[in-house]
Amino acid sequence: MQYIYLLTNVHVPKLVKFGFSRRDSRLRAAELSAATGVPGKWEVHHFWEVEDGYGVEQEVFFQLADKRLGKKEFLEMEPKEAIAEISAVIADVGINPTARAKAEAERAEIERTRMVAERVAARDVVAAIDVEIHRISRPAQDQAEQLIRRRNTVAGWVLTLIAFVLGVSIGYAAGVNPLSAGVAAVVVGWLLPFPLLIDHILKRGTPNRQDVDRLYTEARRKVLAKHKLTEETYGALNRMASRLPYGDMDDYTADLMVDPERMLEDWDEAEKAMRALIAKDARFSTLAEPKPRLQ
């Protein structure tokens, strides 16, 4: 056991001496009083038994820095006030702050490891869901894309032929080389009107680009419904999978500083959804189970 002490001296008013010792505080007071040039005697006004005297002493000096006399072991305080303030510090940091800080650092590292494990698991869950969505939507999307490309090609050739015929006709009527006029009409057509016309045709036709996007959206809706996930939870899983927590001002910590309650709820929601998927779906059962959240 170690001791931190508060010494007073009637010849040194409005100052108390504070420090720590591995021996009885009275022996330390006697040593200080025996030193030459010290008026009167130092008396033990109060002492505390602690496990880490140096750690508590440094924490007291840190928290009462405005009361400390330079770098010395003196506090410009009345004894009663000093006792109350030091007792409050000890109540805050404990009797072994070094061990406590080490334990908290270990707990923080365990928590970080858990969250990283959850991030990896969430990434695998999201990847598996995305594979399932693409497996359902991709064939229909490919077929739609082929029809769009085919219609695009046919429309392009038809417009080119129309432009060429019109150019040749205009060339004959104007008395210029019909072939050159036809080629010029095709070139002019492809510089602006044709792409706009083809885009208009594709938008009004069926299937179009919006139909392709709808096929993916519908497939995602079905897969999420199958796994009892909402769009919000799926989004939370995606954000969870893409962020490494406790990094150096990465996306997660930046958002955490802006809106900590929302971000923690977001993470918890994704965590619960991920655990539910792992528990009920055999394809997710091989994922590493994240470590439990520290209490």
| Stated pTM of the model | 0.41
Exposed, middle or buried by CB within 10 Å (0-12, 13-18, 19+), for 203?
exposed
The whole-angstrom separation of Cα 124 and Cα 82 is 57
Residue 251: predicted pLDDT = 46
β-strands 43-50, 2-8 pairing: antiparallel
Share of the chain above pLDDT 70, in %: 76
> Looking at the structure, do residues 121 and 252 belong to the same domain, yes or no?
yes
Mean pLDDT, range 104-118, rounded to an integer: 74
Residues 119, 75: one domain? no
Q: What confidence tier does 289 reach under pLDDT thresholds 50, 70, 90?
A: very low
The answer to the question of residue 292 being in a domain is no
Give the integer Cα–Cα distance in Å for 86 and 45: 13
**What is the span of the domain harbouring residue 268?**
109-284
pLDDT of residue 273: 64
Q: Are residues 134 and 66 in the same domain?
A: no
Do 75 and 132 belong to one domain?
Answer: no
Q: Are residues 90 and 133 both part of a single domain?
A: no
Q: Are residues 77 and 175 in the same domain?
A: no
Place 50 in a pLDDT band, splitting at 50, 70 and 90: confident
Of 69, 95, 121, the last residue of a domain is 95
Which residue matches tokens 């036709």? 205
Q: Does residue 295 lie in a domain region?
A: no
Query: Does residue 259 or residue 173 have the better pLDDT?
Result: 173
Q: Do 65 and 210 reside in the same domain of the chain?
A: no
Indicate if 88 and 157 belong to the same structural domain. Answer: no
Segment 208-219, tens digit of pLDDT = 667 777 888 888
Do 219 and 279 share a domain, yes or no? Answer: yes
Task: List, in order, residues 6 or more apart from 203 with CB less than 8 Å away.
Answer: 209, 210
Of 95, 125, 154, the one marking the end of a domain is 95
Report the range of poorest mean pLDDT among 28-32, 66-70, 104-108, 239-243: 239-243
The pLDDT of residue 2 is above 50: yes
How many domains is the chain built from?
2
- The residues, ordered by sequence, that sit 6+ positions from 101 with a Cβ below 8 Å of its Cβ are none
Pair 139, 265 in one domain: yes
- Domain C-terminal end among 70, 95, 120: 95
Say which residue, 267 or 142, is predicted with more confidence.
142
Report the pLDDT value the prediction gives residue 254, as an integer from 0 to 100: 44
User: Which pLDDT band, with edges at 50, 70 and 90, does 37 fall under?
Assistant: low
Within-domain flag for 252: yes
> At residue 107, does pLDDT exceed 60?
yes
